[in-house]
Amino acid sequence: MSISYFIPDWDDRVDPGYDFLTDKHTPGRNPYRDDSYAHEIYPRPPYDGVLLSRAVLDNNSKKLNDLIKLGSVHTYLRLPKTHKVLGDCGAFSYWEKDVPPYTTHDMVDFYHSLGFDYGVSVDHLIFAHDDAERRRRQELTLSNAEDFLAEHSKECQFIPIGVAQGWSPESYRDSVKKLLQIGYGYIALGGLVRSTTEQIIQILQEVKPELRSDTELHLFGVNRPEHIETFATLGVTSFDSASRLRRAWMDGRRNYFLGNTAFSAIRVPEAQRLAKKNDGIDIGEALRLEKIALSALRAYEENSDASYLEQALTAVLAYDELAGEVTDRTRNDYRETLVRRPWAYCECAICKKINIEVIIFRGNNRNRRRGFHNTWQLYEQLHGHVQELPSPLDASLSDAGQMTLL
Ligand SMILES: [Zn+2]
């Protein structure tokens, strides 16, 4: 499948020298200078490019100043030139305003002076129920796109992308039609982050007949990348998604992906934090159980037979129970993760290096690495390499411990 995958930049970095056994950072580390992006950890970046939003930069003046000082988004992100940087305004941050806070002239200058590869026109999201307001926002987005192409002069190195906003399949189609008339060869569909897969498919089906054979089509903010193959058959040539990355620590259950199969990470929070969050937890007891849980997991990594598995599970649950009752669902999820040992089958550099640590839900260095692993898995999938696990031994899986399929 020839589809380009962009990862939104939210400063996702890890300490490359983090010591998992002692839970200590590299001494004297400076997080921006010394921490690594996923594209620095893996021999090949696990995406085709990075999406950098103006609004994200405006919320972090240090970051914006550093970037302006360096004068190049590639240098700032330490991203090889073979990989692209796509810029947009970050319309989600200002959808409640009457008009976008950026002018077309500003944005063209911003993309051009900082060396973006692609720049998106100034758009306005349509989360309105009033018909006149919907049309006003759609027209504003289209007239901005028209001005954007006019401002995009010959010396601009970046490729301009026109945004289509809408509220129904027909309104998206009208926007796309207009952008093609204006002269865009690359169009992005915005405002679909909260839409269902079915709604996105309906919009794409409506839009597809308007596209030319060489029109590029970007889909903003894909929450369910497992459907990207379907979207691609409907004309989508690129997308951005942080979904798999963030699920590593934001999803209640689906934290570690192997292909489209998701597993729960095993929660072993830092004892100090656990005690701080829960009144009445004895810190001495927490530290003792934390240590036993981590040792039992590592012993299971070394010896995969059933007795080590049971010891690891018992130790983890005993620690978890300090903070409250553990549900049967969690027990089953943990058992499934431990029985299937997905990390042992993953070919990625992170799993190969840190083994079982990747599946432990604990602090940025494990959780974000697990997110990088998920991103790597997704990128492999997009290139037709889907990793399969050996089928589970029936005897070792409880009834409720079925594979979590999406
Ligand atoms: Zn991995």
List, for residues 219-252, the tens digit of each pLDDT value. Answer: 999 988 999 999 999 999 999 999 999 999 999 9
Separation CA 229–CA 382 (nearest Å): 8
pTM of the model: 0.93
Mean pLDDT over each residue of the chain, to the nearest integer? 94
Separation CA 343–CA 10 (nearest Å): 25
Query: Percent of the chain scored above 70 by pLDDT?
Result: 96
Q: What is the pLDDT of residue 189?
A: 98
Query: Percent of the chain scored above 90 by pLDDT?
Result: 88
Separation CA 301–CA 352 (nearest Å): 12
Using the mean position of ligand 1's atoms as its centre, give its distance from the Cα of residue 70 in Å: 33
What's phi and psi for 27, nearest 5 deg? Answer: -60, 140
Q: What is the pLDDT of residue 392?
A: 64
Higher pLDDT among residues 1 and 298, named by residue: 298
Secondary structure (DSSP) of 187-246: EEE-S-TTS-HHHHHHHHHHHGGG--TT-EEEES--S-GGGHHHHHHTT--EEE--HHHH
Please name the amino acid found at residue 329: R
Separation CA 155–CA 70 (nearest Å): 20
Does the annotation mark 106 as catalytic? no
Using the mean position of ligand 1's atoms as its centre, give its distance from the Cα of residue 33 in Å: 25
Using the mean position of ligand 1's atoms as its centre, give its distance from the Cα of residue 315 in Å: 25
Separation CA 163–CA 174 (nearest Å): 12
Does the annotation mark 240 as catalytic? yes
361 bridge partner residues: 267
Higher pLDDT among residues 74 and 193, named by residue: 74
Which domains are seen in the chain, by residue range? 48-241 (3.20.20.105), 251-405 (no CATH)
Among the listed residues 12, 240, 320, 333, the single catalytic one is 240
Using the mean position of ligand 1's atoms as its centre, give its distance from the Cα of residue 32 in Å: 24
pLDDT tens-digit readout, 17-40: 999 999 999 999 999 899 999 999
pLDDT tens-digit readout, 50-59: 999 999 999 9
Using the mean position of ligand 1's atoms as its centre, give its distance from the Cα of residue 39 in Å: 14
